Amino acid sequence: MAKRQIDIVAKEMGLDDNIKKYLQRVERCLIVSIPILMDNGKLEMFEGYRVHHSTIRGPGKGGIRYAPNVTLDEVKALATWMTLKCSLLNLPLGGAKGGVCVDPTRLSRTELEKITRRFTSEILNIIGPDIDIPAPDVNTNPQIMAWIMDTYSMNKGRSIPGVVTGKPIEIGGSVGRESATGMGLYYVLDALCSRENLDLKSQKVVVQGFGNVGGTIAKILFEKGVKIIAISDISGGLYNKDGLDIKSLLEWRDNKHLLKDYDNDNYVYINNDEVLEIKCDILIPAALENQIHKANADNIECKIILEGANGPTTPEADEILQNKGIIVVPDILANAGGVCVSYFEYIQDIHSYFWKLDRINQELKNIMVNTFEEVYNLAIEKNLTLRIAAYIISISRLEKAIELRGIFP
């Protein structure tokens, strides 16, 4: 899917075939085995991955996810999108990604720490502040980043907070990092509504996903007076045409409950497929890849799709949505707030000087809105989709970097 998106844009912009070949391959992949002595005394083997797609513009940057269905191809694609995302925002970073094939919900805290520390030890030589800076992703969090930082630091003989971002604030993390992706989504959506002459407060919103990203954007919009008419998690979703009480649902989620168990007679339970097909103004897929595809794209009824997840829309679905007149704000723009504030955290760690929240949010807003305006203006000027426009800007910067540096040897 990531390769096909590059193919489509390459044709549109007349990209040199050598550059296209370069961008459709990753620089390096490390596959590691992670032996763990479980709490019951049995040895279990897990598989982990770390991929560098491109470091042509700077150190790799990208999250680590823990999930039972993680594959090397998935990690390669996610690393590719990270390269494009960092280039689009004009950050001096490349793209990387990591994953461990494990269901973390079935692990004790001790087992989770063992897996994290052993995985870190196995990828030790290809991460670091000047090489590749991991971050949280699906099913990973600040505590896991703290274990990675500690393991790396112990092996290097000194404290190195800049090896990861998304850490707890007490050991070099940044304020505003946890809400950054959701905050970035809001800044982009607000700017889009302004350009499209839409009153955001009068729009009805559906959010697929109730984790960090989906929960944060839902909370921000709810506090701004926007109606969230449906939201979902792994167990399914809840719908109410008059709007959901997001504050109450967040409290329910934070107490380790699933939405399917939430008791409210005014809310209708729906499955995860139905969530995407509810008629609304703004649909925010903030779960996993490939959620909007050829089979369901024609059933989607909204004005705007704001991609909170990475790769939620397939190329086939993109074409259908374009024909329906739906504006799709691509992932490499919409959800880039996370990597943007990760970059701020990285800078703060390197200089040992930390910013206040108002500066974080102002710098984030400036970058997100300026990038959106650049993409939107190109799309209008050349009659392109926002995705194609974003990819052209991103790939053009990578193309220039490759040309300037040349091909070694």
In 244-341, DSSP assigns E strands to: 268-270, 282-285, 304-306, 327-329
Which H or E run contains 159?
none
Strand 204-208, strand 60-67: pairing: unpaired
Q: Are 192 and 304 in contact (CB under 8 A)?
A: yes
The residue with tokens 């380790």 is 256
Residue 262's Cβ-count burial label (10 Å; 0-12, 13-18, 19+) is middle
- In angstroms, the Cα distances linking 142 to 152, 234, 368 are 15, 21, 24
Mean pLDDT of successive 10-residue segments in the chain (409 residues)?
A: 91 95 96 98 98 98 96 95 96 98 96 98 97 95 97 97 97 94 96 96 95 94 96 93 95 92 91 92 92 94 95 93 96 95 97 96 97 98 96 97 95
Nearest to 269 by CA among 295, 307, 230: 230
CA dihedral 11, 15, 21, 23 (to 10 degrees): -100
- Report the 10 Å Cβ neighbour count for 90: 15
Q: Are 133 and 80 in contact (CB under 8 A)?
A: no
97 is catalytic: yes
Cα 44 from chain centroid (whole Å):
30
Long-range contacts of 246-249 (CB under 8 A, 24+ apart): 246/218, 246/219, 246/221, 246/222, 247/219, 247/222, 249/210
Report helix, strand or coil for 301. coil
For the chain, the helix, strand and coil percentages under 3-state DSSP, each to the nearest 5:
50, 20, 35
Can you list the domains of the chain with their CATH numbers? 26-160 (3.40.50.10860), 180-325 (3.40.50.720)
Report helix, strand or coil for 304. strand
Q: What integer pLDDT is reported at residue 125 of this predicted model?
A: 96
- In angstroms, the Cα distances linking 122 to 116, 146, 273 are 10, 17, 38
Cα–Cα distance between 125 and 273 in angstroms, integer? Answer: 42
Q: Which of 76, 85, 97, 114 is catalytic?
A: 97
Residue 354 amino acid letter? F
